[in-house]
Amino acid sequence: MRRHPLPDHDIMTDEGSAELQQAFSLLLPIRRQRLRRCERLQRQAEQALCETQRQSAEAEHQLEAAQQHYQQLRDSFAGHHQSGLQKQERLVGGLDRERQASDAVSGQRNQLQQCRAQQVMQQQQVQYTQQQTQARLRDVEKLEYLMAHSEALR
């Protein structure tokens, strides 16, 4: 066993170890708080993603309904108005209803595209929060490891 040239070396090591433990005990609650915050943000991002997925599914359903309605109007318009002479007002009214249904289909398509874009953005947010949570968890684990091993060295 080697002897250190300074007789006070053991005292300095104990003081340094105590200071290190004090620093660890100050840092650990902060790191745990950051981890809890990241976990909360991750849960919120996941809930928001579920909501955007629900909205996207609802928009798809509404688009299908609008497309069916539009197709029914077209089919009925063709069936009613091909048979012969019709009043102009009746033809114009039928065309207006068909145009409105076509506009509704276009609007539903746009809404679905927006929902899907929002869903992609929200998925990216979830991935980011997962990465942040993992990083904070590693920080806490590293600090706990250092604390355990510094106590073992005493």
What are the tens digits of pLDDT across the range 41-81? 999 999 999 999 999 999 999 999 999 998 998 888 777 76
Count of the separate structural domains present in the chain: 1
CATH code for position 132:
1.10.287.1700
d(CA 139, CA 119): 30
Question: Tens of pLDDT along 119-137?
Answer: 999 999 999 999 999 999 9
Query: Residue 32 domain-assigned?
Result: yes
Domain limits for position 56: 18-152
Selected residue with higher pLDDT from 2 and 43? 43
- Cβ-contact 132, 38 below 8 angstroms: yes
Query: Residue 140 domain-assigned?
Result: yes
pLDDT, residue 152, reads 64
Query: Residue 106 domain-assigned?
Result: yes
Query: Residue 2 domain-assigned?
Result: no
Q: Round the CA-based radius of gyration of the chain to a whole number and report it.
A: 34
Give the number of other CB atoms < 10 A from CB of residue 123. Answer: 14
Give the number of other CB atoms < 10 A from CB of residue 15. Answer: 11
